[in-house]
């Protein structure tokens, strides 16, 4: 596998996000943002459907999903999975984007994920490994600052997960998928809010 493949996958994912955004603009007859988000984000993957609905309920409460909330959604959708190096890299990319810092926060969610991935790599039994849910269940409180997820944030997290996965892929319901779903929901809600203001 060459080094261009991860970038190609990121570009394909970005194209998919663009296509979904264009499709959401075509659904302008949808009564409100919540209905549009639910209609737009029903996907055949069962985990993704759970993920989108948990993110939609958070969107209703505040309007925009933060990076910390997207990480917490991962705890709901993939919390049973042991933390590996691609998860740790994606979590670190998300933390860096949330905080605006270039390094990880000591004792923060990324440091905990990196430590768990290193420990898990040495353990033979999955039962003994630290799970994503243990690391991400209260991610918002572990981040010193947080911000709404953007498309650029999603692209960075997807790229980090891809580069650190031995198969050069992201996982359904994983960190990258949760951040991407949050970015799509935020983008859909922002475009619907803009449409409502012009009407």
Using one digit for the tens of pLDDT, what is the confidence trace for 83-97?
Answer: 999 999 999 999 999
pLDDT tens track for 113-152: 999 999 999 999 999 999 999 999 999 999 999 999 999 9
Residue 105 is given by DSSP the state P
The answer to whether the CB of 140 falls within 8 A of the CB of 69 is: yes
Extract the residue ranges of the chain whose pLDDT is less than 50.
Answer: 1-11, 14, 18, 21, 24-51, 57, 59-60
- What's the confidence (pLDDT) of residue 34? 35
What distance in Å separates the CA atoms of residue 114 and residue 195, rounded to the nearest whole number? 42
pTM: 0.71
pLDDT at 12: 55
Nearest CA-CA partner of 71 in 187, 128, 153, 3: 153
Nearest CA to 177 among 8, 23, 9? 9
Question: Are 66 and 147 within 8 A, CB to CB?
Answer: yes
Q: Residue 101 contacts by C-beta under 8 Å, 6 or more apart in sequence?
A: none
**What's the pLDDT score for residue 66?**
97
Spatial separation of the C-alpha atoms in residues 94 and 117, rounded to whole Å: 16
Listed by start position, the domains of the chain span 68-199
């Amino acid at each position: 596998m060459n080094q261009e493949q991860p970038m190609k996958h990121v570009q394909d994912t970005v194209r998919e996000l663009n296509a979904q955004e264009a499709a959401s603009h075509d659904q302008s007859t949808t009564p409100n943002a919540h209905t549009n988000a639910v209609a737009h984000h029903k996907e055949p993957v069962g985990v993704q459907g759970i993920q989108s609905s948990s993110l939609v309920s958070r969107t209703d409460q505040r309007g925009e999903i933060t990076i910390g909330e997207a990480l917490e959604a991962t705890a709901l959708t993939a919390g049973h999975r042991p933390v590996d190096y691609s998860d740790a890299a994606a979590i670190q990319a998300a933390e860096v984007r949330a905080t605006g810092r270039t390094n990880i926060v000591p004792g923060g969610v990324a440091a905990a994920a990196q430590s768990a991935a290193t420990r898990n790599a040495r353990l033979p039994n999955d039962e003994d490994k630290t799970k994503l849910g243990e690391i991400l269940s209260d991610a918002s409180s572990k981040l010193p600052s947080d911000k709404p997820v953007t498309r650029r944030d999603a692209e960075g997290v997807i790229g980090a997960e891809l580069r650190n996965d031995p198969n050069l892929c992201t996982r359904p319901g994983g960190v990258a998928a949760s951040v991407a779903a949050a970015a799509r929901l935020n983008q859909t809600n922002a475009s619907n809010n803009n449409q409502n203001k012009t009407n």
